[in-house]
């Protein structure tokens, strides 16, 4: 009996924090998504206008399609890069010191703010940027490449630059837990490099891959800064759509959009978790 009380008490602070800072705001979010509004006021009500507008607008569908597209491409590239970087760190690099050093290198993209990074991309990728000048100088191109900056390419590049680490860390973690003898056992049984990868390393990295994928997909699905800055405002994402609505005080529309986005992202996460059991990692 006393034990029960104590465990309730121990769980209470977190439950309270979650209730106040997660559950209540979510409930408010859902409630507001049914409000009406005009250009300067929220009108408490229970209308479906916001949802009708969300689902009825071709912009929503196009924006979701674009956001999925960004998420898909970014996921595929960060997975490829992240997997091999993690592989290199886990299986090729020897010594904790070197590993730590290389890990630190991986965090370089996080050393500056988004705005500074974006400003830094301009002189690198811009029309008169270093890359274009180098390519022009080398005679590879005779016109500056315009797609390097303020384009979907630039958006994906920035995403990959930022989020690969989120893929590397969980995959690296699972790789470090793989008993090295398993690989020897596979080799002993006649597996070559690719078959060791396919039959041993990848199956055992699945939880890490799932966690990394959740990170990347959730981050990209909710992003609004990178898309705006790197596309020069020319591409849309769901987050950007919501952020625009918030800045125009269209809270109910933003809330409805946010509820839909939340549901979509939760479904994606659920799908990933259904496909791969990550409990071993937790």
Partner 1 sequence: MKDQSLPGRTSLTRRGALALAGAAVGSGAVTGFPTIWAQNIRNITLRQAGTGVSGLNAIAEQCKKDTGITLQLTVMDTDALAQRAATQPRSFDIADIEYMTTKKVYPVGTMQAIERRRITHADKIVPIFTTGRLTPASAIAQGTAPHTVGFVANRLATAFEPSQTEWMTLIPTIYNADTLGIRPDLINRPITNWKDLVDPAFRGKASIVNVPNIGIMDAAMVMESAGQAPYADKGNMTRAEIDRTTAFLIDLKRQGHFRAFWKTFDESVNLMASGEVIIQSMWSPAVAAVRSRGIACTYQPLAEGYRAWGGGLGIARHVSGLQLDAAYEYLNWYLSGWTGAYLNRQGYYSAVLETAKAQMSPAEWDFWMEGKPAATDILAPDGRVMERAGAVRDGGSFTERMGKVACWNSVMNEERYMVQKWNEFIAA
Partner 2 sequence: MNDVELVAVTKRYGGAVAVDAIDLAIPTASYTCLLGPSGCGKTSTLRMIAGHESVSDGDILLAGRNVTLLPPASRGTAMMFQSYALFPHLSARDNVAFGLRMRGTPKAERLAKADQFLDLVQLGALADRLPAQLSGGQQQRVALARALITGPRVLLLDEPLSALDPFLRAKMREELKRLQRELGISFIHVTHSQEEAMALADLAVVMDHGRIVQAAPPREVFERPTSAFVARFIGGHNVLPRGERAVAVRTDRCRLDAGTEGPRLEGRVRALEYLGSTVRVVVATPDGTEAEALLPDSAFASSTVTLGDAATLAWNAADEHALAA
Which listed residue (59, 101, 202, 263) binds partner 1 by CB under 8 A? Answer: 59
Minimum distance of partner 1 from residue 151's CB (angstroms): 9
As given in the structure block, the two tokens for residue 20 are 């106040």
Nearest in space to 125 (alpha carbons), one of 1, 253, 230: 230
Which of 142, 190, 247, 282: binder of partner 2 (CB under 8 A)?
190
Nearest distance, CB of residue 200 and partner 2, angstroms? 6
Distance linking the first and last C-alpha atoms of the chain: 29
Q: Say how many residues touch partner 2, by CB under 8 A.
A: 16
CB 164 within 8 A of CB 85: yes
Cβ pair 264, 237 in contact under 8 A: no
Q: Of the ranges 16-24, 126-134, 178-186, 274-282, which one interacts with partner 1 (CB under 8 A)?
A: 126-134
Q: Which is nearer to partner 2, 142 or 188 (CB)?
A: 188
114 binds partner 1 (CB under 8 A): no
Instruction: Say which entry of partner 1, partner 2, none residue 179 contacts (CB below 5 to 8 A, set by partner kind).
Output: partner 2
Residue 115 touches which member of partner 1, partner 2, none, C-beta under 5-8 Å by kind? partner 1
Residue 179 is a binding residue for partner 2 (CB under 8 A): yes
Work out whether 185 is an interface residue with partner 2 (CB under 8 A).
Answer: yes
**Percent of the chain as helix, strand, coil, to the nearest 5:** 80, 0, 20
Helix, strand, or coil (residue 36): strand
122 binds partner 1 (CB under 8 A): yes
- Paired with 36 in beta bridges are 43
Residues near 190 by beta carbon (within 8 Å), at least 6 away in sequence = none
53, 131, 153, 197: residue in contact with partner 1 (rule CB under 8 A): 53
Cα-Cα-Cα-Cα torsion 249, 253, 258, 261, nearest 10 degrees, comes to -140
Phi, psi of 43 (to 5 degrees): -115, 105
The residue (of 148 and 168) whose beta carbon lies closer to partner 1 is 148
| Residue closer to partner 2 (CB basis): 9 or 282 | 282
Q: Which residues bind partner 2 (CB under 8 A)?
A: 179, 181-182, 184-191, 195, 199-200, 203-204
């Amino acid at each position: 009996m006393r034990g029960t009380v104590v465990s309730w008490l121990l769980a209470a602070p977190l439950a309270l924090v979650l209730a106040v800072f997660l559950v209540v705001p979510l409930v408010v979010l859902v409630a507001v998504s049914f409000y009406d509004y005009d250009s300067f006021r929220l009108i408490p009500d229970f209308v479906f206008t916001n949802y009708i507008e969300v689902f009825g607008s071709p912009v929503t569908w196009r924006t979701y399609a674009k956001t999925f597209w960004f998420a898909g491409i970014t996921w595929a590239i960060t997975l490829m890069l992240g997997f091999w970087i993690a592989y290199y760190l886990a299986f090729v690099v020897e010594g904790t010191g070197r590993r730590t050093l290389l890990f630190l290198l991986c965090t370089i993209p996080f050393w500056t703010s988004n705005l500074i990074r974006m400003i830094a991309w301009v002189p690198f990728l811009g029309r008169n940027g270093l890359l274009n000048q180098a390519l022009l100088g080398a005679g590879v191109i005779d016109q500056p490449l315009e797609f390097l900056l303020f384009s979907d390419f630039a958006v994906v590049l920035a995403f990959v630059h930022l989020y690969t680490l989120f893929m590397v860390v969980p995959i690296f973690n699972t790789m470090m837990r793989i008993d090295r003898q398993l690989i020897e056992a596979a080799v002993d049984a006649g597996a070559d490099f690719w078959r060791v990868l396919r039959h041993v390393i990848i199956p055992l990295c699945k939880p890490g891959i799932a966690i990394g994928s959740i990170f990347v997909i959730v981050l990209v699905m909710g992003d609004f800064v990178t898309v705006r800055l790197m596309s020069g405002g020319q591409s849309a994402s769901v987050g950007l759509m919501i952020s625009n609505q918030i800045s125009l005080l269209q809270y109910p529309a933003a809330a409805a959009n946010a509820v839909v986005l939340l549901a979509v992202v939760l479904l994606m996460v659920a799908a990933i978790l259904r496909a791969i059991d990550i409990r071993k990692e937790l």
